Amino acid sequence: MAAPRKRTITTDDRTIVRPPTAMRVFTRWTTDDLEIAEALTMGGSLWRAADLCWALLGDSRVWAAAETRVKGLLSLPLSWDESGDGRSSGRVARALADGDFWLAHSEAALFALALWGIILGVGLAQRVWMEAPSGRLVGVLKPYDLRYLRWDKFRRVWVVKTELGDVDIVPGERRWVLYAPSCSGEPDGDERPWMYGAWRRCGRPWLLKYLGLGDFGHHSEVHGSPIRTADYDAAAAGTTGTAVSKTGGGTSGSSGSVVADLGDKLANTGGDSTIIPPRGWRIRFVEATANTWKMFPAEVDLAAREIVIAITGQASSTEIQQGQETGATLHGTVRGDLIRADALTLSTCLHDRCLADYAELNFGSRDLAPWPRWKTDPPANIAARGNAMKALGDGIVSLDRVAPEGKRVDRAAIFEEAGIALEKIPAGAVTTHAATPRRTDSQSVVNISTLSTVKAGAGQGGPDDLFRRFFEDFFRRHGGGPGGPGGPGGEDEEDA
């Protein structure tokens, strides 16, 4: 029986820690800002790096790739690996599965913790302890802004800035949860987990896209509208060409006031404007003809690819490409090894920093804390597996044809190696195959792969007959039924 419950939660443990009042965040980023953010992290300050991460998360491509990676993991089936005494550990796992786990660790909180662990390299959350409807104590996970986390390299301790001042994160206390996928065990600032964050690989491509889109907009503003100008032809003007200037006086066609007046009219040209130029003047629109605009989409595409590679580990796009029937395959673009690694590191973090305290407070021992396990195995492709099994059957038939006399392929060994489960046919069961009569004539079989004609021996028949004979022979070896030992149509009896 488990030891009596140890309820040592204080009033402070039930209180939410508030961050300081938010300070202004720079909204215009340059290459100098990136370098400053990287330089500050060398001293343990994550303030500017966290600002950059917030800016990165405002980009649709960064957000889509990160959301796919994290939410794809959290949407997988969750099970529990029990630990400690069998009966007691089972009670802890059942209590968590019955609702305590999701009450304490909501999907949104886990998403934020894992997201920042991937993007910045370290995630931070606090636990606010409360009594669940079941009567057990749970530490509710609440994300904390990473702008207020720093590593004190002189004292070698993590420090969190709160509205009441700086607070040290002491190993073993029940308030703070740090998730650093690149660290072993308790996240250690000496390991510089922020250096492994995706922000260092996404920053410059994102800035290229960020500045490129601004340049694209300015380019479109200049080149999207033609330049409006006018040319004066003295020969066409003659001697009577006059126009009323903006000062109201009559002037010659080439006077400065006429030029100014016509320039104002061209500048104010709108959708319904009409201009009658003075005699001798011709209005002309000058449009850009070069394809210089193509550099901007190329910049954006290059940045998008670099961002997706940095977060998902491969260059698959988050948008549907030509030739794809659906977008289903696009949302599984995260490399499988990254998904498995995320599942393992997040499981370790939750076990060591959250579930161990839960087990100790409610069941008397930290050793009873189970391990959360997300099922990261990819779903089976039934169609591909069916095609592979059919190809395996065809291959066995082909090998039997070229085997030495008196020999054939060991079906049972091949099926075992291929992972194909076998069972005996129940007595009286109806099989889907029928006995194949012995062929006595010679038949030509077309080898499709080589487009050549192969002469089949007597009694072998065509490919369909050979395929049926393979399964008849297989069932004769592994069970009874029609075509089995002693059944009708049997051809090759097994040796006693």
- 473 vs 167 pLDDT, higher one: 167
- Given this model, what pLDDT does residue 419 score? 82
Residues 275-289: tens digit of each pLDDT: 777 777 777 776 666
Is residue 434 pLDDT above 60, yes or no? Answer: no
**Percent of the chain's residues with pLDDT above 90:** 37
Residues 41-97: tens digit of each pLDDT: 999 999 999 999 999 999 999 999 999 999 989 999 999 999 877 677 889 999 999
Residues 6-23: tens digit of each pLDDT: 557 788 888 999 998 876
Is residue 339 pLDDT above 80, yes or no? Answer: yes
Question: Angle, nearest 10°, between helix axes 199-223 and 60-74?
Answer: 140
- Given this model, what pLDDT does residue 302 score? 87
Among 226-230, 247-251, 290-294, 456-460, the minimum mean pLDDT is found in 247-251
Rounded to whole angstroms, the Cα distance separating 112 from 458 reads 70
Average pLDDT, the chain: 77
Among 88-92, 263-267, 367-371, 418-422, the minimum mean pLDDT is found in 263-267
* Of residues 12, 330, 349, 335, the one with CA closest to residue 175: 12
Among 88-97, 165-174, 222-231, the minimum mean pLDDT is found in 222-231
- 388 vs 126 pLDDT, higher one: 126
- Given this model, what pLDDT does residue 488 score? 46
Among 2-16, 149-163, 460-474, the minimum mean pLDDT is found in 460-474
- Given this model, what pLDDT does residue 225 score? 67
Summarize the confidence of residues 215-229 as an average pLDDT.
67
- Given this model, what pLDDT does residue 450 score? 41
Residues 41-54: tens digit of each pLDDT: 999 999 999 999 99
- Given this model, what pLDDT does residue 108 score? 95
Cα dihedral value 113, 117, 119, 124, nearest 10: 60
3 burial level (CB within 10 Å; 0-12, 13-18, 19+): exposed
Instruction: Count the neighbouring beta carbons within 10 Å of the beta carbon of residue 177.
Output: 25
Q: Which of 139-153, 182-196, 399-413 holds the top average pLDDT?
A: 139-153
Please, are residues 460 and 398 in contact by the beta-carbon 8 Å criterion?
no
Among 111-120, 208-217, 247-256, the minimum mean pLDDT is found in 247-256
Is residue 293 pLDDT above 80, yes or no? Answer: no
Q: For residue 162, what are its two tokens?
A: 């709160």
